[in-house]
Chain A
Amino acid sequence: MPLERTQESGVRSQNRGPAVHLDKLVKRFGDFVAVDNVSIDVAQGEIFGFLGPNGAGKSTTIRILCGLLAPTSGSATVGGFDVSTQPEDIKKNIGYMSQKFSLYDDLTVQENIEFFGGIYGVSDEKLPERRDYVLKMAGLEGKRSALTRELSGGWKQRLALGCAILHEPPILFLDEPTSGVDPIARRNFWHLIYELSGAGHTVFVTTHYMDEAEYCHRVALMYGGRVIALGSPAELKTSLGAGHLLNLESSNLLGAMAALENKPGILDVAVFGGGLHVKVDDPGAAIPAIYKILQDAGIHVMTLDSITPSMEDVFVGLIEKEEEKKAA
Chain B
Amino acid sequence: MNLRRTRAIFRKEMLHIIRDPRSLVAALLQPLIMLMLFGWALSLDVDHIPAYVYDQSNSPQSRDLINAFQGSRYFSVTEVTSYHAIEQAIDKRQCLMGVAIPPDFAKQLGQKQPTQVQLLLDGSDSNTASIARGYAESIVALYSGQLQAPVQTAMGNSPARVSAEMRVWYNPDLLSQNFIVPGLIAVIVMIIASNLGALTIAREWENGTMEQLLSTPARPSEVAFGKLFAYFVVGFVDMVIALVVGVFVFHVPLKGSVLLLLVSSCLFLFGSLALGILVSASFRTQLLAYQMGSFISFLPAFLLSGFIYSISNMPRVIQFIALFVPARYYMNIARGIFLKGLGVRALWFELLLMVFYCVSVCYFTTRKLRQKVA
Contacts and interface: CB of A to CB of B under 8 A. Distances in A.
Interface residues of A, number: 34
B319 to A, nearest CB: 42
A70 to B, nearest CB: 5
B312 interface: no
B260 to A, nearest CB: 35
Nearest to A66: B215
Interface string B197-216: 00000000001110111111
B11 interface: yes
A107 B207 contact: no
Interface string B211-248: 11111111100000000000000000000000000000
B209 A119 contact: no
A124 B25 CA distance: 34
Given A102-B207, A119-B5, A91 B15 contact: no
B212 A102 contact: yes
Interface string B344-374: 0000000000000000000000000000011
A120 B212 CA distance: 12
Contacts of A96: 212, 215-216
B2 interface: yes
B16 interface: yes
A68 interface: yes
B117 interface: no
B7 interface: yes
A102 B209 contact: yes
Contacts of A114: 8, 11
B12 A111 contact: yes
Given A98-B208, A106-B19, A111-B15, A68 B215 contact: yes
A105 interface: yes
Interface in A34-81: 63, 66-70
B212 A103 contact: yes
B193 interface: no
Instruction: Indicate the member of B5, B11, B212, B213 with the most A CB atoms within 10 Å.
Output: B212
Most buried by B among A68, A92, A107, A119: A119
B208 A118 contact: no
B9 interface: yes
Given A118-B5, A119-B5, A121-B2, A104 B216 contact: no
Nearest to A97: B212
Given A68-B211, A96-B215, A101-B208, A115 B373 contact: no
A68 B15 contact: no
Nearest to B2: A121
Nearest to A91: B217
A88 interface: yes
Contact of B4 (A88, A100, A116, A118): A118
A120 B211 contact: no
Given A104-B16, A118-B7, A98 B373 contact: no
Interface in A103-134: 103-107, 111, 114-121
A115 B12 contact: yes
A192 B373 CA distance: 30
A94 interface: yes
Contacts of B2: 121
A63 B373 CA distance: 10
Nearest to A100: B208
Contacts of B9: 115, 118-119
Interface in B166-219: 207-209, 211-219
For A87, A99, A117, the residue with the greatest tally of chain B CB atoms inside 10 Å of its CB is: A87
B20 interface: yes
Nearest to B209: A102
A104 B215 contact: no
Nearest to A123: B4
Most buried by B among A63, A117, A121: A121
B215 A119 contact: no
Contacts of A68: 211, 214-215, 373
Contacts of A111: 12, 15
Interface of A: 63, 66-70, 87-88, 91-92, 94, 96-107, 111, 114-121, 147, 173
10 contacts: A68-B215, A92-B217, A100-B207, A104-B12, A106-B15, A106-B16, A115-B8, A118-B7, A119-B216, A173-B215
